[in-house]
């Protein structure tokens, strides 16, 4: 379904402007290296039930001096198609060394990148925990890093996230939520994220510590393709 934003979808900023947004696919600080089709604004769009669920999570986190930060929310179907097209292009050695250092590009589908994404239903979100009142890094600062997403925190691309053991969009077994070999702090931060999200109705995808889907989402069988436009 393409066109204007359907009824029932909202901008997260209109529901809870205190939730940080670091929308990686609207720019070039991502595994494909450019803005992705359909991301015409760096805005998180979700079904209203998911947005209000995040608002409840945020209220709980503020008491701990923490905040949510979203990396990706609703994803137009055209963006998913562009990822499939990207998979057929020759490797960019720098992007490979950062985002999928231990895998061949063909191994990313469908285990890590779905050909039909739950994000396109509007109830799935990629996010992390950050200290309250911290600031997201600039796109330029992220792109200056050449370290693998699995490298120690001090080496990999800057992020104001609590240390989760990998960066966002790290296509590696270390990104599995219950991966072996994590430090105690990394493990505790992942458990905290999963626990607070689950209390408010979100289920984690076990291959990606950052990936959550609202249980009982309103459009479980519908794939949308409307573009993400600037808020009016």
- Which residue numbers are catalytic? 208
Judged by DSSP in three states, 213 sits in: strand
Q: What is the CB neighbour count within 10 angstroms for residue 198?
A: 14
DSSP-assigned beta bridge partners for residue 45? 11
Bond prior to 182 in cis (omega within 30° of 0): no
d(CA 122, CA 41): 16
Give the list of residues 6+ apart from residue 1 with CB closer than 8 angstroms, or none: 222, 223, 224, 225, 226
Answer whether 147's CB lies under 8 Å from 156's CB. yes
d(CA 123, CA 218): 8
d(CA 10, CA 57): 17
Give the list of residues 6+ apart from residue 27 with CB closer than 8 angstroms, or none: 35, 42, 139
């Amino acid at each position: 379904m393409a066109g204007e934003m359907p009824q029932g979808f909202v901008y997260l900023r209109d529901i809870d402007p205190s939730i940080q947004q670091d929308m990686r696919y609207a720019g070039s600080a991502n595994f494909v290296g450019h803005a992705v089709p359909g991301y015409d604004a760096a805005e998180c769009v979700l079904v209203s039930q998911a947005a209000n669920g995040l608002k409840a999570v945020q209220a709980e986190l503020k008491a701990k001096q923490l905040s949510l930060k979203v990396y990706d929310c609703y994803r137009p179907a055209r963006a998913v198609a562009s990822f499939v097209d990207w998979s057929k292009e020759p490797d960019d050695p720098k992007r490979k060394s950062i985002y999928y250092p231990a895998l061949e590009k063909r191994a990313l589908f469908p285990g890590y990148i779905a050909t039909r994404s739950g994000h396109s239903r509007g109830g799935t979100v990629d996010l992390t925990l950050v200290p309250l009142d911290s600031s997201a890094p600039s796109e330029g600062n992220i792109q200056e890093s050449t370290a693998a997403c699995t490298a120690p925190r001090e080496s990999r691309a800057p992020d104001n996230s609590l240390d989760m053991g990998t960066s966002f969009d790290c296509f590696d077994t270390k990104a599995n939520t219950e991966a072996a070999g994590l430090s105690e702090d990394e493990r505790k931060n992942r458990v905290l994220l999963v626990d607070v999200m689950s209390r408010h109705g979100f289920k984690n995808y076990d291959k990606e510590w950052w990936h959550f889907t609202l249980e009982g989402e309103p459009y479980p069988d519908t794939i949308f393709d409307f573009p993400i436009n600037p808020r009016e």
